[in-house]
Amino acid sequence: MKRIGFVSTRISGTDGVSLETYKWYQVLERNGYECYFFAGELDTPPDRSLLEPKAHFNTPEILEIYDACFGTSTRKSSLSKRIHELKDFLKSRLYEFCGNFDIDLIIPENALAIPMNIPLGMAITEFMGETGIPAIAHHHDFSWERKRFLINAVQDYLQYAFPPTLESLRHVVINSEASRQLSYRRGISNVIIPNVFDFANPAPDSPNSTSLRNELGFKKDDLFVLQPTRVVPRKWIERAVELVSLLGLSNPRLVVSHEAGDEGDLYAKRVLEHAHRLGVDMIYMGEKVGSSRCFKANNDKKYTIDDVYQSTDLVTYPSGYEGFGNAFVESIYFKRPIVVNRYSIFVEDIEPCGFDVIPFEGFVTKTIGDRVMQFLEPENVRTTADKNYELGEKYFSYEVLENKLLPIIESFR
């Protein structure tokens, strides 16, 4: 069982699913497995990939289906017919993918968790049911965790494929609450594997950090505050803006490293307006930033996320909800001080590890701002950065992933 096929809506860019896919790929490859890729958008090696645009969630046909399925409780028979037609087409492409590359095991990456592409999830489910191929479903977030999916006309499809229950399928989740909910709602046993980073190999110095700061207009003594997330409402970026406004900076600025993602740009405009009222300069630079720790096949961005982190003095992570906290682990890896809202997964799965951070409860105050400035004293930054890195290596390293994932694969033998 040496050839593994990753299946997703997209494996490209700096979203959390793509980044974690890359990490799993690295760990599997160094353990002698060969990895191949199927998705609607790919940055993966072309000779190991099958690109199918209809697997993407933003293809016009899939978007039309999505819009017709959610926010209402019934669907037309013509919609059911179209879903099944697309499901059959995507299933045929999965047969082609696994046949062309002689795949032994597939890893659906979030495609059986969140129903952004319903025909794809159903296609994967039927393909597994018809072939009995071993599979590990890597679930990052479920439909019941997002209010936009609560009212829907496809509850039958959600029960069927998001996620399915099959004898040949193992389930992996990224936090304790998801594990409980999957067991409670579906009676599905699962394994928790957190987001990880390659702590055994520290980041080299970035040659572009100085030029990045200069390009963005930062002077030598200006505080570079980074919000390393997509611009979506659950990230609570308003709190980061408010924090920056409370730090007493001569040049208050907040840099956002990612683009808006799949929820439109209305929220980005709202954050800009809020920042303007508070006198904070917002800098959205997502169109310039790629990942240095992804497949790179189509990486034409001017800077990498490594460059951004190594230009940074302080990271803000004020999210109201996170599936785990990829940006938190990244901040620890790059040895940057971090201000974090105590979202539920952080409280249960990360905080008990003992990291030194500046936490807050839902909103920021001048007291939090004062604590941040004290925390940023050079001696404090050095001490906490080293401690946090050691804890990251212990709890969220590639070796942790290796010790949890490889036994699941071996269980199929």
| pLDDT tens per residue, range 214-247 | 999 998 889 999 999 988 899 999 999 999 999 9
In three-state secondary structure terms, 8 is coil
pTM for this model (two decimals):
0.91
- Dump pLDDT digits (tens) for 354-392: 999 999 999 999 999 999 999 999 888 989 999 999 999
Cβ–Cβ < 8 Å for 228, 308: yes
User: Three-state SS for 3?
Assistant: strand
389 and 248 part of one domain = yes
Stretch 73-88: mean pLDDT: 97
Rounded mean pLDDT of 277-293?
86
* CB-based burial label for 44 (10 Å; 0-12, 13-18, 19+): buried
Assess whether pLDDT exceeds 70 at residue 299. no
Do 34 and 136 lie in one domain? The reply is: yes
Question: Which pLDDT value is given to residue 296?
Answer: 67
Regarding whether 219 and 87 lie in a shared domain, the answer is no
Count other Cβ atoms within 10 Å, centred on residue 319.
24
Confidence band for 338, pLDDT divided at 50, 70 and 90:
very high
Structure tokens at 359: 């936490």
Angle between helix 398-410 and 16-30 (nearest 10): 70
pLDDT at residue number 273: 95
In a domain, 202, yes or no: no
Claim to verify: residue 152 and residue 218 sit in the same structural domain: no
Number of domains the chain contains: 2
Q: Is the pLDDT of residue 263 over 70?
A: no
Tokens representing 262 are 């799949």
Regarding whether 299 and 250 lie in a shared domain, the answer is yes
Place of tokens 């700061």: 213
Q: Are residues 384 and 405 in the same domain?
A: no
For 74-108, b where at least 16 C-beta lie within 10 A, e where not — what string? Answer: ebeeebeebbeebbeebbebbeebbeebebbbbbb
Residue 201 lies in a domain: no
Residue 17 has pLDDT above 60, yes or no: yes
Mean pLDDT of the chain: 93
Q: Does residue 89 sit in the same domain as residue 185?
A: yes
pLDDT attached to residue 91? 98
Asked if the structure places residue 219 within a domain, the reply is yes
Assign 81 a pLDDT band (cuts: 50, 70, 90). Answer: very high
Same domain, 250 and 282: yes
Q: Which of 53, 77, 82 is nearest to 66 (CA)?
A: 82
Handedness of CA 302, 24, 58, 258 (dihedral sign): negative
Question: Are 235 and 352 in a shared domain?
Answer: yes
Are 33 and 51 part of one and the same domain? yes
Q: Which domain holds residue 137?
A: 3-196+398-410
Lateral strand order in the sheet of 281-284: 281-284, 253-256, 225-227, 314-317, 338-341, 358-360
Evaluate if residue 262 carries a pLDDT over 60.
no
Q: Which pLDDT score is estimated for 205?
A: 83
Same domain, 110 and 159: yes
At 343 the pLDDT is 95
Query: What pLDDT score was predicted for residue 381?
Result: 92
Residue 252 belongs to a domain with what CATH number? Answer: 3.40.50.2000
**For position 265, what pLDDT does the model report?**
81
Give the pLDDT band of residue 252 (cuts 50, 70, 90): very high
Of 62-76, 87-101, 253-267, least confident by mean pLDDT is: 253-267
Instruction: Name the helix (H) or strand (E) containing 89.
Output: helix 77-101
What is the model's pLDDT at position 287?
82
- Compute the average pLDDT of residues 188-196: 96
pLDDT at 303: 85
Average pLDDT over every residue of 383-406: 97
Tokens of 29: 């490859």
Looking at the structure, do residues 185 and 218 belong to the same domain, yes or no? no
